[in-house]
Amino acid sequence: MKPLLVLAGGFGTRLRSVVSNVPKSLAPVLGKPFILYLFENWVRQGVKDFIFLLHFESHLIEDVLNDVLKNKLYGNINIDIVVEPTPLGTGGSIYHAVQKLQIIKSFMVANADTWLGSGIIDINESSSNTIAAVEVNECSRYGELILNGGVVDKFLEKNSSNRSGLVNAGIYHLSPKIFNEFSLNENISLESDIFPNMVQKKLLKAIKVNTNFIDIGIPEDYMKFCKFIEEKGQKNV
């Protein structure tokens, strides 16, 4: 299985009212950091090689990951950590890691603030430059994906559609070549810079996954995930 690059460098500004002292990915859920729920779920789906991309309070996340490595409960896994010197955006963070680790083959990417029950196997087996899409009841918070035969035709802006539809699920299969038109160490957004450029050229594909999707970026959805875990039980997610 391809390596998984995990975007975990954000500040989590919108979550500060309920989680004020740790990075968003370490938001506590029944006494356990959110990122461990994600990590265990990814391991169950077969991921062995992880690259965590960090910035804000990176030492706190590194402490959690070091405990994971000491634990030995997860079998034969590899964890690399790349810390951004300055905030580089989602795309810039990935580009920085690709250059630093000399990644030449395609890889997977996942957001560290989004629970997706499944989809890793599907995205791993997809062709490169593919994103996962999931259906939600209301697209306004995320921006709707419009597909044409498996190719992303357009991204509708956030707040432009309150209907049900497909949205970006936050996991991708990407080629390092997507950065060929960008400069290293500039601030680059996947969502605002790279993906629109690929959509314009009809180079971005999407596959639909049918699973639980919870983005904990705002307090309401953080509480939704806490309730989800309470109902499911920590060992049953």
Answer whether CATH 3.90.550.10 is correct for domain 4-236.
yes
Which range (18-27, 57-66, 107-116) has the least confidence? 18-27
Residue 17 vs residue 100, higher pLDDT: 100
- pLDDT at residue 234 in the model: 64
Q: What are phi and psi of 152, to 5 degrees?
A: -70, 120
**Distance, CA of 143 to CA of 47 (rounded, Å):** 28
- pLDDT at residue 75 in the model: 84
The answer to pTM > 0.85 is: yes
Asked whether the predicted pLDDT for residue 12 surpasses 80, the reply is no
**Distance, CA of 65 to CA of 157 (rounded, Å):** 35
- pLDDT at residue 203 in the model: 96
Residue 10 in tokens: 């954000």
- pLDDT at residue 159 in the model: 67
Q: Which of 66-75, 151-160, 200-209 has the highest mean pLDDT?
A: 200-209
**Distance, CA of 176 to CA of 167 (rounded, Å):** 23
Locate the domains of the chain by residue range. Answer: 4-236
Residue 70 vs residue 123, higher pLDDT: 123
**Distance, CA of 58 to CA of 71 (rounded, Å):** 20
Asked whether the predicted pLDDT for residue 14 surpasses 80, the reply is no
Q: What are phi and psi of 120, to 5 degrees?
A: -60, -45
**Residues shown for the chain:** 237
Look over the chain and give the mean of its residue pLDDT values, rounded to a whole number.
Answer: 92
Mean pLDDT of 141-159: 87
Query: What secondary structure letter does DSSP report for 144?
Result: B
Residue 53 in tokens: 């991309």
| 213 and 166 Cβ atoms separated by less than 8 Å | no
